[in-house]
Structure 1
């Protein structure tokens, strides 16, 4: 090996020839260039074994003292994990090993040096607290466990786009700086917008409704912002929402779409991420059958029959739901209208299925929540498409309809009947992969206590 050792931040003209997964026995005796960071190192005295990791996996580098300059060998021996290298070397067959091949270096270029070891290792599940990990999130994300999680998350996002594209939905982008609260004014992040107050969007709701007038079927994958002072393991202040809206359908049609979407996602993960699932020890839920559906009223009646202290009109605790449904997908439908936002259509005797509106306080809505055990993943509904009814509902909810003029004015041009849903990406990842904390389903979590990194 050349005695020259280069310590620099610049690759120069050197470029990777192969990723780790592209090197196999068919490459034996070939010269390759591999680039990555040291995930582990074993010192056997006269031989160093370096595991060099790239985005797809690892390849073993064998550095022999007798074939290396003393300076270089000593430098490599002292290198800490996470240091980055570019290695030009020859692929050789590694006998009596499952890895099959290794690389004997001809030239090693040290690109960056790790100054100190991180406070946790890159093993499957760290015993270090999540706050310590999040303080060094980029290093935390190098752990195998989270590598598997985020590769599956990537499959989820790709399969969502695939499903919507196959079903004639158009991907849209809606404003994230808005003038008026979408959900009635609670849990908003105010911001300065030039000379006036604005807010970070809680939801693309009103914009995606308007876009059904132009495109009929739309979807968006984008951040939403909720200033909820929550410290639970299932709440974030910034999350990714998968939103869909479609004209000329109602909430039952959108439940069908949502169920098919979940089934498509699960099938894609099973086919594309078998290795990640095996390493995580996860078996995805069976989604071959239809998801159970129970109305809110039926659920309350069942709970009351089982001596649960709960009244009609109360929200239902996640713990109670998890005890009943365990880890499975199911819908709760026809919620009280009083519990839903102003744009949700009420069930009237003319369009009710099993239940009808008796009086104002018992009014039901054409709505649903998709649950996984005790975790709410999605909410959806048929929307009000009549301007007068929408204004009336705004007043009932204590909202000033004047503030929504930008939205109401389009209803003068015949807003079609429409329905939609919003699905939380992080909650879906959390449910499918049985994560204990939703913060491990997003790259850089934002919550009541965390604004960095």
Structure 2
């Protein structure tokens, strides 16, 4: 029976079998010290005599039989038999057994499957897995139903821009930008509270450290809300849960990455106009009309970090022209919307808000944007038969992971990135 490296202390004095990758090898006379890596961690194996002369190469996959011994450095395995399951070619294209891989990000991504073996890189995706699992647990415990919506669609969610076109038999179809319409349909179908964890696709020409053309979206939609303030309350509670779960589950991974999980009590809420005023007064920074640019997002988060607070802030009341056609107008200012973004450490990780739930208002919003109502017939039909007040939000999983762990580029929190230039591996 195979034992994992972290389980060795439970088997001191016993004969066991362990399997994994050769992380490093150090020869010392008639002894060889092999560090073996498996999914749980790294363990030292001591080989003597003929076993010490085996021509092992870094990253070869091996199985070792031997006795677990307690040393002053912890439990280690004194090997009695070694089987090479799959030898690794040498030299490796990148050095994955270093604390930091000494290569550019492009080179690392070109050899991504190998780079993912690095313990620090591995820690990022362990934490990302915990975030996704905690997201699912949080909403399942609150009566939300997990849904699975189509990723091949007949039209765009937001009017047809930034779409990847594909040939669908004799028709043209598109990769889904968002599950937005389907989330709303499921709310209107009586499920009331739904969530999804799934990829979305954006045919944006951006090639920056913050953009991907395929990413994982954590989507939420709920019916019978009173205002979009409820959604911000819900996301605040969600992030408190996610961050606590990561801190509790992944202390070793956080330490390896040098990351600290923020403790959230409340997240400040500013209108876009208020944020623009702070930027102007504090940093002499002007902003585009009705929005913040990337520098503005960074500075408004820095404004709170300088006060010793977590670098998170909700921005609310975006103008209608910069929001999708389904965004509910703000009750106190119809030119603005009951919508929000969440910025985290200088980057927008969430977009959300209340949606229009009355057919006439929704059709009028579409007409004001010169949209063809017939192209949205299936979406609009549900609104003819009763739709509760509703809203939701979507979090980019890769951006959330990157901001939490202090990565400068969202690709570092993406197992196999797809961007403007990268389609492989």
TMscore range, shorter length:
over 0.9
For 1:406, the equivalent position in structure 2 comes to 378
* Matched residue SS, 1:413: coil
Whose radius of gyration is greater, 1 or 2? 1
Question: What's the TM-score once normalised by structure 1's chain length?
Answer: 0.88
Question: What is the distance in 2 between the residues matched to 1:425 and 1:310?
Answer: 27
1:110 matched to 2:84? The reply is yes
Q: String of CA shifts for 1:299-331, please: whole Å, max 9, x gaps.
A: 234445564334643x31121232232251110
Question: What is the distance in 1 between the residues matched to 2:102 and 2:212?
Answer: 23
For 2:294, the equivalent position in structure 1 comes to 318
Q: String of CA shifts for 1:79-122, please: whole Å, max 9, x gaps.
A: 2100011112111222x3x2x22222222111000112323222
User: Does the Cα contact within 8 Å between 1:120 and 1:126 map onto a contact in 2?
Assistant: yes
1:70-89 pair list within 5 angstroms:
73-74=52-53, 76=54, 78-89=55-66
For 2:113, the equivalent position in structure 1 comes to 138
Which residue among 150, 154, 174 is the counterpart of 1:175?
150
For 1:191, the equivalent position in structure 2 comes to 166
Q: Which has the higher strand share?
A: 2
Question: What is the distance in 1 between the residues matched to 2:199 and 2:320?
Answer: 27
Q: String of CA shifts for 1:419-441, please: whole Å, max 9, x gaps.
A: 00011101101111010111111
User: Does the Cα contact within 8 Å between 2:222 and 2:390 map onto a contact in 1?
Assistant: yes
**CA RMSD between the two structures:** 1.5
* Matched residue SS, 1:284: coil
Question: What is the distance in 1 between the residues matched to 2:136 and 2:415?
Answer: 20
* Matched residue SS, 1:42: strand
Q: String of CA shifts for 1:187-208, please: whole Å, max 9, x gaps.
A: 1110111110000000000000
User: Does the Cα contact within 8 Å between 1:345 and 1:365 map onto a contact in 2?
Assistant: yes
For 1:23, the equivalent position in structure 2 comes to 8
1:53-452 pair list within 5 angstroms:
53-65=37-49, 68=50, 73-74=52-53, 76=54, 78-94=55-71, 96=72, 98=73, 100-121=74-95, 122-213=97-188, 214-249=190-225, 250-287=227-264, 289-305=265-281, 307-310=284-287, 312-313=289-290, 315-326=291-302, 327=305, 328-347=311-330, 351-352=331-332, 356-357=333-334, 363-452=335-424
User: Does the Cα contact within 8 Å between 1:300 and 1:312 map onto a contact in 2?
Assistant: no
Question: What's the TM-score once normalised by structure 2's chain length?
Answer: 0.94
Deviates more, 1:236-245 or 1:404-413: 404-413
User: Does the Cα contact within 8 Å between 1:46 and 1:64 map onto a contact in 2?
Assistant: yes
User: Does the Cα contact within 8 Å between 1:123 and 1:145 map onto a contact in 2?
Assistant: no
* Matched residue SS, 1:404: helix
How far residue 224 of structure 1 moved from its aligned partner, in angstroms, is 0.4
Deviates more, 1:180-189 or 1:302-311: 302-311
Deviates more, 1:228-237 or 1:26-35: 26-35
* Matched residue SS, 1:82: coil
